[in-house]
Amino acid sequence: MRRWVYCFLFLSLVGCNFTDRGLIKLQVVDELYLGTALDEIKQHWFLYSLKPLQVDQSMSNDAQIVYRGVSRDLGVTSFYLFFNTKTKMFEKAEWRYHSSMTETKEQELLDYWTKKLWEPSLNHRWEGRVYVWSDRKARLELYLADGICHLIQRIN
């Protein structure tokens, strides 16, 4: 009996480390929340895009419908909104910045999100590095490589 009590206490303490810091409710762009229904986002496209959202056939697949928009931020070449095909819920957003602005945006975005959230973890990949802010429900990634700067927000 004691062994079960100890196991329960241990698992409870381990589970305490997985906190929800509110990343799922984080807005990278005003009025755009992860978990929002597709129809609602399509109705309010003008709040975060200069032009109506368009389906991107090359990025869409059986699991995800991907919409492309035109950002109000001139440093962004394009942004993509990923929706689950079954639930029609918003699961991921990706902002791609101009390659000529990679160095400028790197420091700007890193400083901004570190001040707004907390110190990110750093992962190195073959092509570059990824700064990650993560909690148990969502994650925000700043992917950087030679001439590449992407900001990705996703549901875990």
Percent of the chain topping pLDDT 70: 79
Contacts 24+ apart (CB under 8 A), 5-8: none
Task: Name the pLDDT band for 31 (thresholds 50, 70, 90).
Answer: low
- Alpha-carbon distance of 149 to 141, in angstroms, equals 10
The pLDDT of residue 66 is 94
**φ, ψ of residue 93 in degrees (nearest 5):** -135, 145
- Strands ordered across the beta sheet of 64-69: 54-55, 64-69, 76-84, 90-97, 148-155, 138-145, 128-134, 121-124
Using CA atoms, how far apart are residues 155 and 83, in angstroms rounded to an integer? 11
Instruction: Show the CA angle centred on residue 71, arms to residues 104 and 57, nearest 5°.
Output: 115
Under the banding of pLDDT at 50, 70 and 90, the label for residue 82 is very high
Average confidence (pLDDT) over 126-151: 83
Q: What span, in angstroms and rounded, lies between the C-alpha atoms of 85 and 145?
A: 31
CA-CA-CA-CA torsion sign (135, 61, 67, 88): negative
Q: What is the per-residue pLDDT for 19?
A: 54
The whole-number average pLDDT for the span 5-9 is 43
Cα angle 43-79-154, degrees, rounded to a multiple of 5: 85
Whole-model pTM? 0.77
pLDDT band at 28 (very low <50, low <70, confident <90, very high): low
